[in-house]
Amino acid sequence: MNSARTLWLGAALLLAAAAVLAVGAGVGSTGFASVLQAWHDPVAWQIVWDIRLPRTLGAWLAGALLGLAGAVAQGLFRNPLADPYLLGSASGAALGVAVALALFGVSPFATQWVARLGLTGAAFIGAVLGVLLTLALAKGVHHTLRLLLAGVIVGVVLSAARDLITIAVPDVLQAMQAFTLGSTGFVGWSSCLVMAAVLLPAATLAWALGRGLDGLALGESTAQSLGVPLALMRTLLVAVLALATGAAVAQTGLIAFVGLAAPHLVRSIVKTTHGRLVLLSAAMGGLLLMAADVLARWVIAPQELPVGVLTALLGGGYLLWLMHRGGGLGGRASR
């Protein structure tokens, strides 16, 4: 019964994503216009093909990476409150962007060029270095609690370093604010290709490690008695977590609550194994961020809301409701 329900949920999420993709291709600064209407207008079709379609698809890919990373983090730490940014990737990415802006400078005319050529690379490198620093501080992946505490410490320290840079170079503050609020405005086809190239192997590896996560959910001693290679599994999962989060953050900035809320939404609909959970969480995260991106463009058009603000409001509101209804996230997730 659960297998059939899982398949139906996966199909429903993909169909809903296709519908939102079609809507997103028609939503712009002038409101909504059907893609069919742009078919006979070369200028309108170029806007759809070069701007709206890659942006909407990129939102799905970034959300899928965050949803996948959130499910991996919650399974790895056995904590329903774990999110993709726990290992210092978010603070590392923000610090990388701050360093790049301080070194290369930023102006209203150079923002797009810098963002396209420099900031994505700086954010990805910063995210990976943040995770590596966490691993060094935790002395590997053997102790989950030490890894979690190291991630919190690294996050605080790197965030403080970012704040010092923005104080020393106040000209970067506006660009940093845009990055920390999250945006899909600069996502193009090349960004979609990068995120897809990371999502496919990351999802495959996370799915393959799902049975190990099922064993880990029963406790470390039980997992070891079942023959789960804990050290290797944790290393591979941390690699998935770092790459997926780094790729998403590098392209869209810091987007809150998608990675935290997506696995909870899946669990509230169907109870399934971790292998299927990570895939469904990726589909759910993609749908959440894509829908939020369309709303961000449409609500106050021709202006846009930062997509990270919408995901924080909607995701945070949902988790508060879930806590009120279920008596706590931990109790809800464990049932």
Q: Where do the domains of the chain lie? A: 2-334
- Residue 191 near residue 264 (C-beta atoms within 8 A): no
CB atoms within 10 A of CB 129: 20
pLDDT tens digits, one per residue of 11-46: 999 999 999 998 888 776 655 555 555 556 677 777
| 2-334 is a CATH 2.40.50.100 domain | no
For the segment 254-302, what is each residue's pLDDT rounded down to a tens digit?
888 898 889 988 998 998 889 999 999 999 999 999 999 988 888 776 7
DSSP assignment letter at 152: H
pLDDT tens-digit readout, 39-70: 566 777 777 778 888 999 999 999 999 999 99
pTM to 2 decimal places: 0.86
Spatial distance between the Cα atoms of 158 and 95, rounded to a whole number of angstroms: 6
pLDDT of 173 > 90? The answer is: no
Give how far Cα 199 sits from Cα of 204, 242, 245, 313, Å: 8, 12, 10, 26
Strand boundaries in 20-136, DSSP class E: 27-28, 31-32
